[in-house]
């Protein structure tokens, strides 16, 4: 992915990382406040139902007591007894005695006018008492009363008591019979709620209000409060939650910044490239200098980024070596090489491919069984895979020696790469069972010049000869260099004079062309070591 895109995406993620936790904290504090408010409203509604049931209970007891009176109806003693009942109960305002559908007397005396027994009951409570939601009393001209009727007696209660609670100003309350007929309200609740009380859910909200309902066998109550009111509650919740949200937001932003930095860092990008197998291999032909025949190639890794850009190995190999990614890259090069060149290697046993090993590969020796697995069932011979190790790989000479010996035992040829540029001990050179020595390009560059290093080149060639190693000269760019090397008995060379590193198909074409024109090279390039 391009850097600019990563930066844009990371910024968006960071912004989201900052906003989302705050929104989540806000939402959480909102829903906590809503739940708290609905619980408060539910308690109020329960309380109203309790009051209505208490009134029903008191009225029922009074009605049944009156029903058992044995004094003559509507005589002074009867009226006094009724009045005593009213005075001794809190909920009852009045009690009337009916005969043949007409009100004969009440706890206050005789009715001022003829009153028939109406209206009809809304329902019967389980104890047989009828409930009449709204009845207008004969004496006081006040608000409608809720009446309870049993046989000849009717009791009036003031339903205002049902909703007689101390509540915050915005809180509204309504009590209805179980059939939804409104009995009493406090603070004029929203008609859109009270009209459909019978089928309201337990809690909910409408445009402006939150509500909670409560119901039992006789009554339904709803308590409502404006949603706005909970914003003040939220101040407290926010005080607790927002710092948490801000902390999470900060952590998220930090995480996004860290991840994008990691992604944008060279090492981060390289690790992702290893995971995504973004490496490809080019092959630089190895030429027998005397004849010009192509005898093999060196596999050289390239990092092809998703945008097509190619990264040179000297820009990422050191980073991979320092951070433990190199062995994975070596494996990818090996597998790509086998896949791409398998058929030409099988068709022509005199062809070999050299793989560059890093110090870690040489130290662990892990690469050898990996090669064995990669070659299994391909028909490619171990002898066709050369290994190149730089002098850096020989720092731990004991393990390098073990790996090289095992490699040769398996049939690989081993070359020392970039000879002359690093830490070399001639003694090690003598001791290690190597097949070839690759003279670094910097020495070949000086051929034909009169620089100080130019005088070293013949000595390096002599050292290789005296160690009986095959010699490969790297980076031959001019014919004059090739001529010089041939004259000095250097057998093999690589360089732009012959070819740059080529993609597999182009290398195969180059190789086939060389073979057609000049024939195949020697079958094996391998030193006999006693
Ligand atoms: P090296 O193994 O010494 O590879 C030879 C380098 O010299 C290659 O560079 C090659 O393209 C370049 N070269 C060859 N002929 C000429 C020439 O005539 N003129 C010039 N100017 N350059 C020439 P490249 O491919 O950039 O590789 C650089 C180094 O990266 C390699 O040096 C090797 O040390 C390392 N490398 C490349 N591929 C791998 C790999 O698969 N594994 C490991 N561990 N290292 C690798
Ligand atoms: Mg090399
Ligand atoms: Mg080299």
User: In terms of C-beta density within 10 A (0-12 exposed, 13-18 middle, 19 or more buried), how is residue 114 classed?
Assistant: exposed
Lowest-confidence segment of 30-39, 219-228, 487-496, 515-524 by average pLDDT: 515-524
HSE-CB for 456 with a 13 A CA cutoff: 14
Q: What is the mean pLDDT of residues 92-107?
A: 91
- Is any ligand 1 atom within 6 A of the Cβ of residue 314? yes
The H-or-E segment that residue 133 falls in is strand 130-135
- Is any ligand 1 atom within 6 A of the Cβ of residue 89? no
pLDDT digits (tens, 9 = 90+) for 194-227: 888 888 888 888 888 899 999 999 899 999 998 8
List phi, psi (to 5°) of 245: -60, -45
Q: What are the residue ranges spanned by the domains of the chain?
A: 1-264, 278-432+491-518
Tell how far the Cα of 218 is from the centroid of ligand 3, in angstroms.
97
Are the C-beta atoms of 368 and 374 separated by less than 8 Å? no
Nearest atom, ligand 1, residue 388 CA: 2
Q: In the prediction, which pLDDT does 347 show?
A: 94
- Is any ligand 1 atom within 6 A of the Cβ of residue 472? no
Residues with CB under 5 A from ligand 3 (ion): 417-418, 474
Are the C-beta atoms of 294 and 287 separated by less than 8 Å? yes
| Whole-prediction pTM | 0.61
Tell how far the Cα of 313 is from the centroid of ligand 2, in angstroms.
11
Q: Which residue has the higher pLDDT, 184 or 482?
A: 482
User: In terms of C-beta density within 10 A (0-12 exposed, 13-18 middle, 19 or more buried), how is residue 430 classed?
Assistant: exposed
Are the C-beta atoms of 369 and 334 separated by less than 8 Å? no
Nearest to 14 by CA among 272, 267, 259: 259
pLDDT bucket at 118, cuts 50 / 70 / 90: low
Given a cut of 60, whether residue 440 has pLDDT beyond it is yes
Alpha carbons 113 and 141: distance in angstroms, whole number = 14
Are the C-beta atoms of 65 and 239 separated by less than 8 Å? no
Q: In the prediction, which pLDDT does 281 show?
A: 97
- Is any ligand 1 atom within 6 A of the Cβ of residue 328? no
- Is any ligand 1 atom within 6 A of the Cβ of residue 222? no
The rounded percent of the chain whose pLDDT value lies above 90 is 53
Locate 472 and state its tokens: 């490969």
Q: What is the mean pLDDT of residues 369-373?
A: 97
pLDDT bucket at 353, cuts 50 / 70 / 90: very high
User: In terms of C-beta density within 10 A (0-12 exposed, 13-18 middle, 19 or more buried), how is residue 428 classed?
Assistant: middle
Alpha carbons 473 and 292: distance in angstroms, whole number = 14
Alpha carbons 232 and 237: distance in angstroms, whole number = 9
Q: Which residue has the higher pLDDT, 489 or 258?
A: 489
Q: What is the mean pLDDT of residues 247-272?
A: 82
| Pairing between β-strand 182-186 and β-strand 172-177 as defined by DSSP bridges | antiparallel
pLDDT digits (tens, 9 = 90+) for 14-47: 778 777 877 887 788 888 888 888 899 999 999 9
Average confidence score pLDDT of the chain: 88
Nearest CA to ligand 1 atom 25: 300
Q: In the prediction, which pLDDT does 1 show?
A: 57
Given a cut of 90, whether residue 344 has pLDDT beyond it is yes
Alpha carbons 315 and 425: distance in angstroms, whole number = 27
Nearest to 154 by CA among 112, 84, 109, 107: 107
- Is any ligand 1 atom within 6 A of the Cβ of residue 313? yes
What's the CATH code, domain 278-432+491-518?
Answer: 3.20.20.450
Are the C-beta atoms of 163 and 188 separated by less than 8 Å? no
Task: Return the best residue to mutate from 328, 329, 356 for the ligand 1 pocket (most ligand atoms within 8 A of CB).
Answer: 356
- Is any ligand 1 atom within 6 A of the Cβ of residue 301? yes
- Is any ligand 1 atom within 6 A of the Cβ of residue 284? yes
Tell how far the Cα of 32 is from the centroid of ligand 3, in angstroms.
69
Locate 440 and state its tokens: 């670094």
Strand partners, 288: 293, 492
The rounded percent of the chain whose pLDDT value lies above 70 is 95
Q: In the prediction, which pLDDT does 326 show?
A: 95
Tell how far the Cα of 416 is from the centroid of ligand 3, in angstroms.
9
Alpha carbons 216 and 80: distance in angstroms, whole number = 35
Alpha carbons 415 and 398: distance in angstroms, whole number = 17
Token match 């190895």: residue?
A: 286
Task: Return the best residue to mutate from 270, 278, 313 for the ligand 1 pocket (most ligand atoms within 8 A of CB).
Answer: 313
pLDDT bucket at 338, cuts 50 / 70 / 90: very high
Task: Return the best residue to mutate from 300, 355, 363, 444 for the ligand 1 pocket (most ligand atoms within 8 A of CB).
Answer: 300
Q: How far is CA 239 from CA 1, 23, 245, 247, 291, in A?
A: 41, 14, 10, 13, 86
pLDDT digits (tens, 9 = 90+) for 48-73: 999 999 989 999 999 999 999 999 99
3-state SS record for 175-232: EEECCCCEEEEECCCCHHHHCCHHHCCCEEECCCEEEEEEECCCEEEEEEEECCHHHH
């Amino acid at each position: 992915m391009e850097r600019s895109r990563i930066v844009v995406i990371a910024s968006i993620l960071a912004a989201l990382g900052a906003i989302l936790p705050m929104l989540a904290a806000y939402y959480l504090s909102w829903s906590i406040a809503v739940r708290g408010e609905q619980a408060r409203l539910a308690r109020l509604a329960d309380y109203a139902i309790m009051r209505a049931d208490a009134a029903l209970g008191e009225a029922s007891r009074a009605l049944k007591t009156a029903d058992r009176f044995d004094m003559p109806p509507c005589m002074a003693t009867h009226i006094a007894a009724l009045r005593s009942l009213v005075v001794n109960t809190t909920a009852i305002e009045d009690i009337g005695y009916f005969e043949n559908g007409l009100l004969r007397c009440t706890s206050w005396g005789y009715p001022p006018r003829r009153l028939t027994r109406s209206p009809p009951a809304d329902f019967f409570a389980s104890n047989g008492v009828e409930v009449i939601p709204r009845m207008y009393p004969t004496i006081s001209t006040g608000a409608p009363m809720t009446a309870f009727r049993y046989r000849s007696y009717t009791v009036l209660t003031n339903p205002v008591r049902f909703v007689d609670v101390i509540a915050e100003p915005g809180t509204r309350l309504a009590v209805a019979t179980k059939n939804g007929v409104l009995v009493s309200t406090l603070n004029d609740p929203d008609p859109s709620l009270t009209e459909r009380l019978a089928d309201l859910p337990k809690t909910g909200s409408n445009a402006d209000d939150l509500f909670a309902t409560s119901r039992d066998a006789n009554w339904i109550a709803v308590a409502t409060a404006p949603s706005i009111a909970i914003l003040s509650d939220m101040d407290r919740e926010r005080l607790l939650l927002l710092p948490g949200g801000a902390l999470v937001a900060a952590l998220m932003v930090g995480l996004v910044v860290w991840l994008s930095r990691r992604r944008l860092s060279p090492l981060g990008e390289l690790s992702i490239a290893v995971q995504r197998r973004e490496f490809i291999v080019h092959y630089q032909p190895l030429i027998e200098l005397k004849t010009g025949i192509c005898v093999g190639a060196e596999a050289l890794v390239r990092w092809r980024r998703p945008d097509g850009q190619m990264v040179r190995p000297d820009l990422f190999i050191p980073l991979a070596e320092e951070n433990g990614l190199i062995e994975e890259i070596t494996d990818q090069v090996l597998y790509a090489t086998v896949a791409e060149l398998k058929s030409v290697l099988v068709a022509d046993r005199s062809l070999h491919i050299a793989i560059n090993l890093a110090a870690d590969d040489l130290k662990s020796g892990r690469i050898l069984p990996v090669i064995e697995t990669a070659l299994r069932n391909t028909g490619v011979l171990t002898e066709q895979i050369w290994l190149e190790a730089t002098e850096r790989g020989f720092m731990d000479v004991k393990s390098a020696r073990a790996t090289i010996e095992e490699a040769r035992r398996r049939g690989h040829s081993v070359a020392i790469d970039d000879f002359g540029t690093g830490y070399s001990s001639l003694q090690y050179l003598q001791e290690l069972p190597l097949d070839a020595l690759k003279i670094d390009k910097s020495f070949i560059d000086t051929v034909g010049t009169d620089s100080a290093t130019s005088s070293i080149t013949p000595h390096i060639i002599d050292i290789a000869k005296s160690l009986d190693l095959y010699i490969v000269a790297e980076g031959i760019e001019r014919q004059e260099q090739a001529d010089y090397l041939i004259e000095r008995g250097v057998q093999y060379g690589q360089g732009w004079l012959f070819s740059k590193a080529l993609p597999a198909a182009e290398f195969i074409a180059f190789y086939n062309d060389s073979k057609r024109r000049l024939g195949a090279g020697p079958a094996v390039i391998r030193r006999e070591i006693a």
